[in-house]
Structure formats: structure tokens, C-alpha cells
Amino acid sequence: MQTDSSFTFVLFGGTGDLSMRKILPALYEAHRAGGMLADNGKIVAVARHVADRAAYIDWVNEHVKPHVSKNGVDETAWASFLDRIEFVKIDLGNPEDFTLLRDALSGRPGIRVFYLATGPSLFVPICRALASVGLNENSRIVLEKPLGYDLKSSNAINDAVGEIFAEEQIYRIDHYLGKEPVQNLLALRFGNVLFEPLWRREWVESIQITIAEELGVEARGDFYDNTGALRDMVQNHLLQLLSIVAMEPPHSMDSDSVRDEKLRVLRALKPIDPRDIGKVAVRGQYHAGVIRGSAVPAYATEPGVKPDSTTETFVAVKVEIENWRWAGVPFFLRTGKRLADRVAEIVVNFRAVPHSALGASALRGGANRLVIRLQPNETIRLYCLAKQPGEGMNLASVHLDLAFDRFFREGQMEAYQRLLLDVINGRLALFVRRDEQEAAWRWVEPILNEWAAANKPPKPYAAGTWGPAAASAMLAQHGTCWLEEEN
């Protein structure tokens, strides 16, 4: 990940929540590690609510510093990191202000990275303003989700941005693709002869992908109420994870080889007949409940949420892939807020043995499974059956555990750190290509349209549970259940 490339990293939304919690801490960690960022690389923050650089540095010290380094801040590294930061005050609604940015960037060597940590409504105006002052040349643009509200609006944004930046200049970020276990999933599949022969319909019974949150909508009620879990999580994070799990081995790890294989998966997703959506998709909304001993309110009473809102905070959906490798294997995706635990994981349930001389316990489904946990602790576990000590042939579940923090002495790289370094170094493999995004929207839209047309309220679930009972019933029809007991 080391580079000698000169760069200027321009951060729009420099005082926003994403900049505070993720982007600036990730850049600090890369700086602190040494050698990852060119010595003359600069960070230029853009905002309108701060008077000047001194005031911005004060803001960074107060708001960003608490979010860096789990083991404490290296004050020497922090001071030299602040030396990298510059500031330009711009009203993003005034294109003429962009001449100030052009002048601030004039004569700087190396690549320019523009990170749009803003609302999607500002993506096109910012790109047009950058082009108006000639800053779209020799540059890369990073777009945060959500990129549109549906396929039509997503295409409109992509069309407008594509008139200004070439596709190889556009980095559509999905931070789940930068997580260490997702990278290890690729290593596990394509670096070992052991797993790849089993990674197909003959040996896999079902696959689950879960992204569960204990938190509610927090201060994002107004945004979330116009978005919902299907747009916020399924269309991007969950379908991207599915494509990584199900893709064919790429020719190499270059950007187009990887993304071509992901695209083939997304285009092979079995279209959902609107008449069957009630059978394969469950949506819910959390009501008041208890999480870790504390009472939490219902979604409809959260600030910024309409009292009669029908926005979903939970989605579970069954997905099928119409190709040779995965025909007949159900993929179950699940995400929700105010659930019983904070966890993101991929569960590969292998088929039971066809015949057992060791008793019925060896015939149960899921006895062999691979659990790839993305958060909170990043691990890979392989479960199998072994004989219990003592008389008789009694079997019990045991597991092989790869806990990265115990196995590797050096600290793991956070997802945003990896992805920001990839942008600076021009590596596109972990970013979403336009045709991938279109394929995901195209598959999701029938669900969105059916839910909007039906105008029915989501199924209620108590905060602190695992969502509506209908989500468990959907899996029960296939003789399986959600994995919920792991810690």
C-alpha cells in the first residue's frame, strides 16, 4: 500500500459527520503508519461554516481527534498530520466560489482527488462547478452512497457526472468492500485449493448475509424516512457482498477482471415476479423495545420521522442466481436497525452428508458451515462435527477459528483507510462500476414498486429482537434458520 505519488485530497463536506468519523481518521492512520502517503501530499478541506484554516484545525482537534486510534493518539504524528491540512471556504451553491479552490490548487504536483462527502443532490452541481474552472482534468472523483433514489435518478446522476469525468476517474465507494474479512474471502476462495471445489450448488445448501444494527436512525430521521433499508443497505452493501461471495474466479485481481465477474452475478439474479414479492421479501419497522437493558423508542416517534411513516427499517429477502454454479441455492439477505445485536456476517451452510453411520446428528443441515464475520470482531470460523470425549459416538460441533487480531501482530487496516489509499493510487477493483450499480437497481426496483403500490404498513417488530417473525418463517420453508447465537 505504500506510494510515493504526490496528491491533493480535496474533501467536500469537510465538517460533516462522515468526514469527522471516517475519512479524516482514516487519512490520519495512513499518515501515522508512515510511507503510505507521499510526504508532500496535502488534504484540502472545503466547507462554508468555518471561517478559516485556524478555525478548521480547532474543529478537527475537537471533533475528529476523539475518533482516531483505538490505542490513543500519537501526538507527534497528529501534529504533523495537521500540517497536511489546508482549508478553503466555499459556498457549494455558488459556482463562482470554485475559482477560490482552483487558485488554491494551482501548481500542485500529482493527482487530485475530490471526495464528495455531501448529500447526493450536490454531486452534479459540484462536478459541473469543478469542470467550469478546469479541475476535472487529471483528477479522480469519489461518490458516496446513496447514488440516486431509484434506477432513473441513479442514471441521471451517472449521466451528468459521466459528461464531466471518464468512468475510470469515478470511484463509487462502498466501504464494506474494503473490510479485511471481505478481502480474506477472496484469498480464502482463490488462494486455496481446499474451498473452491466445494463453492457450488452440489455442496452448498444455502447462504446467509446479515448486516444488523443495534442503533436506530439517530439524527438521520429525515434522511432515512425518505430512503428506507432496501435502498440504504440492500441495493448496495448486501448485493455487493453477495456478488463477492458468488462470483467466478477472475482472471486476475485487476479492477475490470474483478468487476466483470461481480457484474455477471448481478445480471444473473433471478428477477422477482411482483406476485411473489410477499413470499420472498419481508419488510418491517421497529416499535418500542429494550436493547441491552435500556428502553428505546419506536421508529415512528424518532425525530424527523413522520408519525404515520411506512418506511421499512428491516428487510429480509430471498435471492436466487440463475447460473450453472448456484442454480437452486437460496441466498438469504437480511438487514435492520434496532436488532438484537450489532453484527455483519456471511454464513455458508454446506449440505449434510448423504448417509451417516454415526447417527442422526451427522445428517442435520448446517453441521458444516463457514462463518465470515465482518463486525464487530473480524473472524473466519469453519464449523464441523467431532466426537465428544467419552463412551459412545456422540458428535458435537467444533470450529477452527481465524481471529485476525490474534493471528497477525500488525494492526488491521480499516475499510476507509484501504479505500482512500486505493483512490490515491488509482486502484478501482474495490469500487462499484456503473453497470454494476445499474444491475443492482434493476433487480431491486420491482420490490420498491410493489411495496409503494401496495401501500401496506411494514410488519412490526420490537426493538431488541431479530425482526419480524415472517423473516424466520421464510427460511423455515427451506428447512433452515438464521444463525443468531454466535457472539
Domains in the chain: boundaries: 7-144, 177-245+261-412+460-476
User: Residue 485: which pLDDT band, with cuts at 50, 70 and 90?
Assistant: low
C-alpha cell at 443: 433487480
Residue in 31, 175, 237, 478 annotated catalytic? 237
Please tell me the predicted confidence (pLDDT) of residue 361.
64
Write down the pLDDT at residue 308.
Answer: 93
Which residues are bridge partners to 461 per DSSP?
286
Measure the CA–CA gap between 223 and 119, rounded to whole angstroms: 10
Residue 190: in which H helix or E strand, if any? Answer: helix 180-190
Q: What is the DSSP letter of 65?
A: G
In degrees, to the nearest 5, what angle opens at C-alpha 256 toward C-alphas 254 and 261? 105
For 403, the 3-state DSSP assignment is strand
Residue 402 has pLDDT above 80, yes or no: no
The whole-angstrom distance between residue 97's C-alpha and the CA centroid of its chain comes to: 33
* Grid cell digits, residue 456: 401496506
Q: Note whether 7-144 and 177-245+261-412+460-476 share their fold.
A: no
Give the pLDDT band (50/70/90) at residue 411: low
Percent of the chain clearing pLDDT 70 (strictly above): 95
As a whole number of angstroms, the distance between CA 305 and CA 344 comes to: 26
296, pLDDT greater than 70 = yes
Closest listed residue to residue 322, CA positions, set 215, 246, 431, 221: 246
Q: What is the CATH number of domain 177-245+261-412+460-476?
A: 3.30.360.10
Give me the sign of the Cα torsion angle 119, 124, 130, 136. Answer: positive
CATH class for domain 7-144? alpha beta
Does residue 287 carry a catalytic annotation? no
What's the confidence (pLDDT) of residue 1? 44
* pLDDT at site 220: 83
d(CA 330, CA 313): 23
pLDDT band at residue 392 under the 50/70/90 scheme = confident
User: Cα 410–411–412 angle (5° rounding)?
Assistant: 120
Exposed/middle/buried for residue 288 (C-beta within 10 Å: 0-12, 13-18, 19+) = middle
Neighbours of 373 (CB within 10 A): 19
Q: CB–CB of 232/224 below 8 Å?
A: yes
**Which grid cell sits at 462?**
420490537
Task: Give pLDDT, residue 458.
Answer: 96
